[in-house]
Amino acid sequence: MALHQNLIAGEWIGGDAVPNINPSDTNDVVGEYARGSADDMKTAIAAAKAAFPAWSRSGILERHAILKKTADEILARKDELGALLSREEGKTLPEGIGETIRAAQIFDFFAGECLRLTGETVPSVRPNIGVEMSRDPLGVIGVITPWNFPIAIPAWKIAPALCYGNTVVFKPAELVPGCAWAIVDILHRAGLPKGVLNLVMGKGSVVGQVMLDSPDLSGLTFTGSTGTGKRVALSSIEHNRKFQLEMGGKNPFVVLDDADLNVAVEAAANSSFFSTGQRCTASSRLIVTEGIHDKFVAALTERVNNLNVDHAMKAGTQIGPVVDPGQLKQDEDYIAIGKQEGANLVCGGERLERETPGYYLKPALFTEATNNMRISREEIFGPVAAVIRVKDYEEALHVANDTIFGLSSGIATTSLKHATHFKRNAEAGMVMVNLPTAGVDFHVPFGGRKASSFGSREQGKYAAEFFTSVKTAYTLA
């Protein structure tokens, strides 16, 4: 089996081979991927630093052409790359293909942004002086991405970084090197100059630590756990480095008495269990008012019991496996905690046997939970949700906001009054009305508040806030 190597200074560099295992079938090795060393990462950062002056002054047509070519190839290979994503991460094949299409759309959007770079000219308060505001590229950007969106999240960090003239050092999650390697290979062949984009796969404790310790990174954009995010922040403050964090969530989904039951159940099931619940925008707190509570629980229980959990690549599968043994244990530990805390497990929570050996777990639904239980406070990151019964809208809003997190928040209601009030008063970066809490567009800002996010928003035009630095220039006429 050929070794997929790291890309450093425009050259493919080998390393220790690490097998990429399919969570739907642990006998299936997706590929062998190089594990980089600390020295590899130091070399990659030096290469990005050396490439920055020329790339930061490159023409906008050159950048546009490279990003557009990348978008076109990803889209043309959507079935192949979507299958790769599903094999290595465990998402269903339709989800894998859908995420791949989204990555292509992101690269296409930022290809266009290359041609839409603007500045601003204003008169000075002093006579005969002109004032210009422009955006300069930041410098060398460190990109650290998680395993749950292995092609979309790298796309929405790398594409704007390159669009605005930065160079990149990219460290993907160890569990999903395949998609990372594929998009770097595509960008490399699209014509990026040597050193502009560097890929170093490997352990976070080794290559990731070098990134945190490096004074040569001008910016570090990170998506992952809250604990690691704090380490990224502390190291960045030490080096006076710009940093951007997307971390955890404990997203509420409120169901009011006046909700359309079918809409509410479908949105809740999607929010809580699709993508195996492994989304930072997933909803694991279902906050339901008394009048609809029993009907909602009965309908959602039936929906969950009928979800088809199986091999991610199999036609008809709705829920794939959990990503790896560590995450599976975490899910099972929280299910045990929920029982100990007194919540009622109405369905699911047990491991499943399928034709192939994999990390299969039946989605778990608790009722009679309270908002002070650990299963209601801590991010589980698996197919586990708890229903919290409340009296009315006012209590629902209070419970929804009673969390350290603030990424996404949803409500099911047919009341314009309550929907409008919720949009204005939900303490979250994104609010969904009669829609799942997960599922966002690629051209608008993504991000949260409180412990979920720090720094400027990702995606769309708002990405410029992180990847550029504003310069103000004065000229005497």
Secondary structure class of 425 (helix, strand, coil): helix
Q: How far is CA 238 from CA 38, 43, 140, 243, in A?
A: 20, 22, 17, 11
Q: Note the residue count of the chain.
A: 477
Residue 187's nearest CA partner among 242, 87, 106 is 106
Beta carbons of 229 and 204 less than 8 angstroms apart: no
Q: Using CA atoms, how far apart are residues 59 and 460, in angstroms rounded to an integer?
A: 21
Residue 254: both structure tokens together: 């409120």
246: annotated active-site residue = yes
280: annotated active-site residue = yes
Residue 309's nearest CA partner among 29, 90, 87 is 90
Tell me 372's DSSP state: T
Tell me whether strands 468-476 and 129-137 are parallel, antiparallel or unpaired. Answer: antiparallel
Ramachandran category for residue 302: left, alpha or beta (phi over 0 → left; psi -120 to 50 → alpha): alpha
Secondary structure class of 447 (helix, strand, coil): coil
Of the residues 280, 347, 379, 458, only one is catalytic, namely: 280
In terms of C-beta density within 10 A (0-12 exposed, 13-18 middle, 19 or more buried), how is residue 376 classed?
A: buried
Q: Using CA atoms, how far apart are residues 321 and 93, in angstroms rounded to an integer?
A: 12
Tell me 351's DSSP state: B
Residue 120 phi/psi, 5° resolution? -145, 140
Residue 93's nearest CA partner among 317, 358, 360, 279 is 317
Cα Rg of the chain (Å, integer): 23
Q: Catalogue the E-assigned strands of 430-467.
A: 430-433, 449-450, 453-454
Secondary structure class of 200 (helix, strand, coil): coil
Q: Which residues pair with 29 in a beta bridge?
A: 21
Beta carbons of 47 and 54 less than 8 angstroms apart: no
Q: How far is CA 189 from CA 10, 36, 67, 80, 194, in A?
A: 10, 21, 11, 18, 11
Residue 281 phi/psi, 5° resolution? -95, 0
**Encoded amino acid at 194, one letter:** K
Q: Using CA atoms, how far apart are residues 21 and 209, in angstroms rounded to an integer?
A: 25
Catalytic positions: 246, 280
